[in-house]
Chain A
Amino acid sequence: MAAFPKLKTGAVAQYPATRSPQFQNQVLRFLDGSDQRYRDSAGALYQWEIRLDELDEGEMAAVEGFFLANQGCFGNFEFTDPWDGQTYPNCSFAADELDLISLMEMRGKASLKVIENRV
């Protein structure tokens, strides 16, 4: 299984980086105003928003190549959480779209979202 590409610095993300745990719970509300809550699936799934800036053309090509190799959100890959170093073995891109912007020579930017999949 392919791993998420690292930048030349060895990092996988830059500031600002966003990490979000997401639970899936259901709430049933009754006529008397009370409610009942229950889990709809086990545990939280994480998602990461990665905004990359000041990339050179080689780094841009690596991100694009990885996106193509995964065919957008179809493929699964291993992702190391840049916040704590924990490895999540089954992740994928959240969307089938990837925007790559070349502002100047060696000044590219890209933004992507990685989600953890339920195994």
Chain B
Amino acid sequence: MLVYPQLTSGALTQFPVQKRRRMRTVMNVLADRTTIKLADPQGEITEWQLEYTGLSDDEVSALQQYFVATEGRLNIFTFLDPTANLLAWSDQLDNAAWTKAPLLTITGGVADPVGGTSAWHLSNSGAGPQSISQTLQAPGGYMYCSSLYGRCPQATTVTLLRGTARGDRSLGAAWNRITFSGQGDGTAQSVEFGIELPAGGSMEIFGFQVEPQSSASVYKSSTQGGVYQNAYFRDDVLSFTATDVNRHSATINITHANRL
């Protein structure tokens, strides 16, 4: 699996990042300006313009090698949207995108910490730990940060899951954002992210997010997720400008088309 490389900082890109969404609607405008529309979901195109400055020689070398490996725009690769929550349906834990353990009960419509009702109540009626998770077709060796808001009626230790890695975090009665960062198995081609609740435990959860970087940013509610498996370089040329010793800049354009 060809996967777009992260920088040595663990970030995928730098600011500014420009993302362009292009949909395709076939439209017939009648004389009185009423319209007849037909959607074409396969015509959706997403483009990113990533601007890099201050890259080291090693980072430039990695990007150049990767560009050679894809042979410019010839070969497709997996790209993780640096501006998105990688999880799909992050506010709908009952969606089919999530895998729920059988003895875990989930209830939606709970008041969340940002004034809405998008939080969920999780309750484990089993005699062992139960989890809810989502598997992403993303590289295991990437740096990821998973985060969520949680609270428990009684102080509880919950476990954040990232592949085979586990991170225990304590939650109390007040909303608290917990994070779990790190890299996993470099050979894995998918990673499972989730949360595990101990036997008999219950909690409220909101804003589950996974990002391809070392720290959490503001929570972004998602439906599609941020893993794009058929992305490609927009151009056949990739230019780097040396601005000083061990400092380079570049602009890279990446495209994803639903039709591929």
A: which residues have CB within 8 A of B? Answer: 24, 40-42, 45, 56-58, 60-62, 64-65, 67-69, 71-75, 96-106, 117-119
Question: Which applies to chain B's interface (DSSP): helix, strand, loop or mixed?
Answer: loop
> Does any Cβ of A come within 8 Å of B37's Cβ?
yes
> Does any Cβ of A come within 8 Å of B21's Cβ?
yes
Report A-chain residues with C-beta under 8 Å of the C-beta of B219.
57-58
State the CA gap A65–B16 with chains docked (Å): 20
Given A68-B223, A96-B23, check contact A61 B39 (CB 8 Å): no
Count CB-based A-B contacts (< 8 Å): 101
Question: Which chain B residues (1-57) contact chain A, with CB distance < 8 Å?
Answer: 15-25, 27, 31-35, 37-39, 41, 44
Is the CB–CB distance between A40 and B32 below 8 Å? yes
Is the CB–CB distance between A74 and B220 below 8 Å? no
Given A56-B218, A68-B224, check contact A103 B15 (CB 8 Å): yes
Report A-chain residues with C-beta under 8 Å of the C-beta of B44.
71
Is the CB–CB distance between B24 and A72 below 8 Å? yes
Which A-chain residue is minimally distant from B23 (CB atoms)?
A72
Is the CB–CB distance between A118 and B34 below 8 Å? yes
Interface digits, B76-96 against A, CB 8 Å rule (1 contact, 0 not)?
Answer: 000000011100000000000
Is the CB–CB distance between B22 and A61 below 8 Å? no
Report B-chain residues with C-beta under 8 Å of the C-beta of A74.
23, 25, 37-39
Is the CB–CB distance between A67 and B21 below 8 Å? yes
Which A-chain residue is minimally distant from B39 (CB atoms)?
A74
Report A-chain residues with C-beta under 8 Å of the C-beta of B24.
72, 96
State the CA gap A85–B32 with chains docked (Å): 27
Nearest 7 A-B pairs (CB), nearest first?
A72-B23, A61-B220, A74-B39, A57-B218, A96-B23, A41-B32, A118-B34
Report B-chain residues with C-beta under 8 Å of the C-beta of A100.
18-21, 83
> Does any Cβ of A come within 8 Å of B221's Cβ?
yes
